[in-house]
Amino acid sequence: MQQPSFDLSGQVALVTGAGRGLGRAIALALANAGADVALGLRDIAADGGLADEIAGLGRRALKLQMDAGNLDQSRAAMDEAIAKLGRIDILVNNVGGGGSQGPVEDFTEQTFDDTIGINLKSSFFIAQYAGKHMIARGSGRIINMSSQAAFVALPGEAIYCIAKAAVSHMTKCMAVEWGKYGITVNAVAPTFIATPGTAPALADPVFKADVEDRIAALHRIGEPHEVAGAVVFLASPAASLITGQTMLIDGGWTAR
């Protein structure tokens, strides 16, 4: 009887937003599972030693200048990854940001465009470009970055919630169209995770206590490796029958 495999040996992964937080943890987890990793970095000179850590695991690491908000630069980075590492088997489309907060009635058109642009537009076109390469090869794994905000209304973050909900539905659309090419497309949807990006908000003890209370089952802030584990699973042969899904990693927030 065939047993599930979580081994990524011989695979090439591209992780966008790899410089810190979730992206960094995901890149290391993929390397630990056997993959070579291309690192999409907003500043190629600021990887914080990540490439060396991956090399220390015996994997290839390629640093790429890749600001996800710059689609021409992102496409060029993907071309470089394919040229130097041979292919992209796994795309971790770690794109997004909360942007401005406020009541629905006060958001400006520019804020809407900026938030949708980085969370949805960039995610779509990066996945599209990698998807074309995977279609030609007849296989691939794409893991998009959604959020628990796709499933619950977070006061003051309406546009972000809308954008991440769209990412989850985009994931379904891509999965349905690209399954015939041997490509699976899934997403992960984390709750509040302890990263440099969430540190300012979580430094407020009142806000942190409210978040911990809303994470109804576990009552604690998540850690980056807890998201990275789900990504490795979705990228692995063990998840070969899973596509079009958004995996909530929310400690029970949406179960309440």
pLDDT at 31: 98
> Averaged over 214-231, what is the pLDDT?
94
What is the end-to-end Cα distance of the chain in Å, rounded? 38
Catalytic residue, chosen from 124, 160, 178, 192, is: 160
User: Looking at residues 71-88, what average pLDDT do you find?
Assistant: 98
8 A C-beta contact, residue 159 and residue 184: no
**pLDDT of 66 strictly over 80:** yes
Residue 189: per-residue pLDDT:
98
Q: Residue 116 contacts by C-beta under 8 Å, 6 or more apart in sequence?
A: 159, 162, 163, 166
* Mean per-residue pLDDT, 80-103: 93
For 36-61, write each residue's pLDDT tens digit. Answer: 999 999 999 999 999 999 999 999 99
Which CATH code is given to the segment(s) 12-251? 3.40.50.720
pTM of this structure? 0.96
The yes-or-no verdict on residue 98 having pLDDT over 80 is no
Length of the chain: 256
Which residue type sits at 175?
A: A
Please report, for the chain, the start and end positions of each structural domain, with discontinuous segments joined by +.
12-251
In this prediction, residues 6-22 reach a mean pLDDT of: 97
Question: Is 181 an annotated catalytic residue?
Answer: no
Backbone angles phi, psi at 188, to 5 degrees: -115, 150
114-158: pLDDT as tens digits: 999 999 999 999 999 999 999 999 999 999 999 999 999 999 999
Please give the pLDDT value at position 216: 86
Confidence (pLDDT) at 256: 84
